């Protein structure tokens, strides 16, 4: 079973105390219903049994999906964050010391660190649909930048996969202010995704910065590295000069 403890929580609304399950390891192969809870945003939300108040409680946990070979640290606290960075960096260093054939044979899990439940839900959805979270992050930054040009109050975009009326799946970005969805979804076509994946395929293969945290900062650094490389190309320098 997934590992959990029972902790007593005090309702901030009515002050009554009730027990909740707090997981330190969310193993979704052993307990597949936990994956749905993570994706639907109910894993880290409890309803007070006395007054019905919805209480969001995000805590440190390791999400593991051995089937998809994914391990994600949900680091709610700085302490756990530092620990996760240290341990995952160590693991990645050990892996890069192995040769490619051994690495392919071992087929090790992708390691990621996120800081909140919304980002964890996104990662799980992305990997569950066989998508590359790095490509999604690049697309998000492009769409966020253009969205912010007309709506400066938009703070982020939530990646989601919905169903169309005819039953097809449809990727989209939902503009956010804080945790609230504002404006209509920005549809992301499969073609848009695959073109971006193809365009940056080699650059992503060659990019050596840490991919433990694939987020907006990661995407900004990646684009900056591409720009720097492009201005280094002699033909571009000549064109510029």
State the residues that interact with Zn ion by CB under 5 A: 11, 13-14, 48, 50-51, 53
Question: What minimum distance in Å lies between the beta carbon of 45 and Zn ion?
Answer: 14
Q: Are 23 and 72 in contact (CB under 8 A)?
A: no
Residues 6+ apart with CB under 8 A from 136: 126, 159, 193
Cα 52 from Cα 66, distance rounded (Å): 35
Q: Are 219 and 140 in contact (CB under 8 A)?
A: yes
Question: By C-beta, is 53 or 128 nearer to Zn ion?
Answer: 53
Question: By C-beta, is 13 or 146 nearer to Zn ion?
Answer: 13
Question: What minimum distance in Å lies between the beta carbon of 13 and Zn ion?
Answer: 5
Question: By C-beta, is 13 or 189 nearer to Zn ion?
Answer: 13
Instruction: Please report, for the chain, how many H helices and E strands are present, in that order.
Output: 9, 11
Question: What minimum distance in Å lies between the beta carbon of 48 and Zn ion?
Answer: 3
Residues 6+ apart with CB under 8 A from 147: 154, 157, 175, 183, 186
Question: What minimum distance in Å lies between the beta carbon of 42 and Zn ion?
Answer: 17
- E strands in 50-99: 54-56, 61-65, 70-74
Cα 75 from Cα 54, distance rounded (Å): 22
Question: What minimum distance in Å lies between the beta carbon of 43 and Zn ion?
Answer: 20
Question: By C-beta, is 13 or 96 nearer to Zn ion?
Answer: 13
Question: By C-beta, is 53 or 60 nearer to Zn ion?
Answer: 53
């Amino acid at each position: 079973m997934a590992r959990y403890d029972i902790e007593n929580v005090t309702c901030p609304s009515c002050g009554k105390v009730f027990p909740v399950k707090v997981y330190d390891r969310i193993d979704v192969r052993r307990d597949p219903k936990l994956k749905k809870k993570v994706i639907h945003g109910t894993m880290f939300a409890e309803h007070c049994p006395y007054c019905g108040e919805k209480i969001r409680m995000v805590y440190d946990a390791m999400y593991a999906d051995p089937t998809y070979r994914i391990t994600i640290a949900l680091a709610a606290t700085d302490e756990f964050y530092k620990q996760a960075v240290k341990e995952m960096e160590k693991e990645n260093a050990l892996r890069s010391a192995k040769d490619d054939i051994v690495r392919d044979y071992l087929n090790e899990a992708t390691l990621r660190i996120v800081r909140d439940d919304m980002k964890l839900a996104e990662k799980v959805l992305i990997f569950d649909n066989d998508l590359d979270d790095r490509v999604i992050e690049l697309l998000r930054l492009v769409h966020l930048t253009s969205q912010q040009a007309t709506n400066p109050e938009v703070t982020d975009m939530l990646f989601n996969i919905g169903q169309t009326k005819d039953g097809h799946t449809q990727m989209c970005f939902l503009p956010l202010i804080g945790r609230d969805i504002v404006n209509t979804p920005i549809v992301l076509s499969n073609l848009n995704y695959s073109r971006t994946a193809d365009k940056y395929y080699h650059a992503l293969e060659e990019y050596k910065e840490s991919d433990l945290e694939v987020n907006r900062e990661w995407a900004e650094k990646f684009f900056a590295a591409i720009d720097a490389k492009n201005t280094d190309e002699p033909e571009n320098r000549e064109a510029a000069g």
